[in-house]
Amino acid sequence: MNLFTPKECAANYAAAGRAKTQMPILKMFLLAVLAGFFIAMGGAVTNTAAHSIDNVGVARMVCGLLFPFGLAIVVLTGAELFTGNTLITISVLDGQAVVPGMLRNWGVVYLGNAAGAMLVAAGCAFGGQLNYSGGQLAVFTMKLAAGKCALPMSGAVILGILCNVLVTAGVLLSLSAKDLTGRVVGAYLPVAFFVICGFEHCIANLFYIPVGLLAKAIPAYAVLAEEATLDLSALTWGNFLLRNLLPVTAGNIIGGAAMGALYWYCHGRKEAQ
């Protein structure tokens, strides 16, 4: 077979998660910056591709076709992604890692992901990348960011849970394959589902919302937003942190950790085997 069985995949991830918790902090942080960069690039690509598409369904399909390659690159390069690393619950339940080591990994990786994603956001905002279509890409970017900041907190948590069940499923499917094609396809399909459905991913939002906030602060883009009669009242750093990032992160942790626990219970524990 060209695949690992679920039992083998659970055992493989238990060992891999242990290694993640024992990684030197500098290496962990740098690999996390790299993952944040790749996920943010997926966001930059989808914004650019979809900004002039009026049909919402078509726009979501285009985003779903493009964004998942970011996760595929993360998996294939060995970068460290916070949302995927919620699966370290498998290692903890299997007795190969401890909770403090898992929390250490989550904290360092989250900060590294944030740094990588926000560097891309700054590059796009201040480097002129948002000038596509006479600045209409900037208008689209601000509109998208404002919508995310206006989500009800309960909705953001639920959308975060749904998102990370799919992201962690993508990680597990990718790690089940033994060849390049299988690993890419495994990562691709679940992530395409969450993007098309519009679920919320905290690391992606560390690009989507900051780039909108930075664009709002640039006078030329602010004028375009005013001409388009955009309501950007919800687009603030406070709303970004409290109404989106915090609840979405909580939802991502719940969804990913629950997926890891379920996978271990069914395939990893000795009684299940």
pLDDT number for residue 1:
72
224 and 139 in contact (C-beta within 8 Å)? yes
Q: What is the pTM of this model?
A: 0.95
C-alpha 270/C-alpha 37 separation (Å) is: 38
Joined together, the tokens standing for residue 243 give 């109404």
Across the chain, which distance is largest between two alpha carbons, in Å? 64
C-alpha 244/C-alpha 218 separation (Å) is: 23
Between the two ends of the chain, the Cα-to-Cα distance in Å is 19
In this structure, what are the phi and psi dihedrals at residue 153, rounded to the nearest 5 degrees? -60, -40
145 and 125 in contact (C-beta within 8 Å)? no
Contact partners, residue 58, CB within 8 Å, separation at least 6: none
Joined together, the tokens standing for residue 143 give 């509109």
In this structure, what are the phi and psi dihedrals at residue 177, rounded to the nearest 5 degrees? -90, 155
For 205-250, the pLDDT digits (tens) are: 999 999 999 999 999 999 999 999 999 999 999 999 999 999 999 9
For 137-160, the pLDDT digits (tens) are: 999 999 999 999 999 999 999 999
In this structure, what are the phi and psi dihedrals at residue 270, rounded to the nearest 5 degrees? -60, -40
Which amino acid belongs to residue 9? C
